[in-house]
Amino acid sequence: MSMSAQEEQANIGKVLSFLRQWDRGGRRVRSCMLNTFLTKNTGKTCYELELEFAQVASLFLARLTTWMRLTYMFGTCLGLQLKALGIFLSISSHDQYLMEFLEDGGVLTLLDILSHAQSKEEDKAEALHLLLTVSNAGCKYREIICESCGVKVIAECLAKSNAEETQETQQLVLHALRTVQSKLKTINHSIVEPLLNMLTSLQLDVQDEAINLMLDLRSYDVRPVLLSGLVALLRPTNEAIQEHRNTEVLSEAEMIKMTGSLPVFEQQAAAAKAIRMLAEEDHELSQELLSLGVIQNLLYAMGNREHIEAQIQASLALAHFVRSLPAIEEHMQRLLGSTLFAAFMHKPETLYMNMDEIQAEILLSNKVNITEALDGEKNSEG
């Protein structure tokens, strides 16, 4: 039912009074106003919200976005701010508010909240829900998030987060962004480290999300850095292992209790899995990985009797290289011995069961250089 002219004037007066109160109010006043706003407007349509705000709801949205941008690093009413923004951004089939939020730097602010060390986990969860809302609004919005280094920021956050709800939302956002990220013309190298860090997660689906992103990025200029990083993870240094054992004692103890291993070994297993999937996907990638010394490092991971999953994944990856490149077979047979090699070729994922301490030590200290053998094979063919 439409308003009379008198009712419209009264409503405009009420809204102007509301905005003046906001402009003059401190943290406590604005907090009360946001609570009232949430109670009265949750679930409203765009039409209903505009009716409530005399067709100038955008004036309040701009104030809300600006206040959050100026105060998020202090955590001032951040949860309320994010929930209130959710009312504007979640209104379906209407992107006016969404565009205004983006033009005011809203996406960058949400990503900064995820990056800020002092942000509470529940506030990060709210920010992620808003990013998911933005990404679900369409391809052009996902592009804005990606161009703002969104994948890197969310991957970093995911690698550090232990909260189940936060992890689930992060994965949903990353999944939505993947198709857009892989179409960008240039991708910053800084995305590589967060992806590699995601491999330390106890959640297999988080590891898989990282691997899928790596598969998407294999044709970009980050590829050499990504492949080198994966190969390096197969052979964590003694210093890295010791560092993990000496730091974060409580969380480390909990992880060892849950998995029987250190984060570097979780990362080692996931890196082996990623390498296998990348090599299976692309023969050219296999060649690049070989030139980076992947065989020597896979053998090292196979000898890690402290972590069975690392042994299994490294064995499966090595089996792929042996089957696709016969030149490697002779080296593996000589290193493992005919009996162990036969067991490896029959069922690589069970090799660790047939290996004794001496054989494991041989793998850990191996100095295999497959590139020389491959170069020799090419020369003989020529």
Question: pLDDT tens digits for 343-369?
Answer: 999 999 999 999 999 999 999 998 888
Whether 299 has a pLDDT exceeding 90, the answer reads yes
Neighbours of 382 (CB within 10 A): 5
Q: Which of 161-175, 182-196, 216-230, 297-311 shows the lowest per-residue confidence on average (mean pLDDT)?
A: 182-196
- Condensed to tens digits (0 to 9), the pLDDT of residues 275-288 reads 999 999 888 888 89
> Could you give the angle at the alpha carbon of 30 between the alpha carbons of 29 and 34, nearest 5°?
125
Give pLDDT, residue 251.
Answer: 52
pLDDT for the residue 1: 42
Q: Among candidates 11, 113, 7, 92, which has minimal Cα distance to 47?
A: 92
Asked whether residue 124 carries a pLDDT value surpassing 80, the answer given is yes
Asked whether the predicted pLDDT for residue 242 surpasses 70, the reply is no
**Least reliable range by pLDDT among 122-126, 136-140, 174-178, 195-199:** 174-178
Asked whether the predicted pLDDT for residue 247 surpasses 80, the reply is no
Judged against a pLDDT cut of 80, whether residue 153 lies above it is answered with yes
Burial class (CB in 10 A: 0-12, 13-18, 19+), 105: middle
Q: What is the per-residue pLDDT for 322?
A: 92
Tell me the percentage of the chain whose pLDDT exceeds 70. Answer: 87
DSSP 238: H
Interatomic CA distance for residues 307 and 264, integer angstroms: 10
- How high is the mean pLDDT of the chain? 86
**CA 32 – CA 54 distance, rounded (Å):** 21
Of the candidates 19, 43, 17, 22, the one whose C-alpha atom is nearest the C-alpha of residue 32 is: 22
- How many whole angstroms separate alpha carbon 237 and alpha carbon 233? 9
How far is C-alpha 24 from the geometric centre of its chain's CA atoms? 41
Tokens 């082996």 label which residue?
Answer: 272
CA-to-CA distance for 61 and 320, rounded, in angstroms?
55
Q: How far apart are CA 196 and CA 192, in angstroms?
A: 6
pLDDT of residue 336: 87
Backbone angles phi, psi at 185, to 5 degrees: -70, -40
> Alpha carbon of 96 to those of 24, 53, 66, 103: distances in Å?
27, 15, 17, 11
The model carries a pTM of 0.77
Look up tokens 């800084």; give the residue: 190
Q: Hey, what are 45's tokens? A: 């349509």
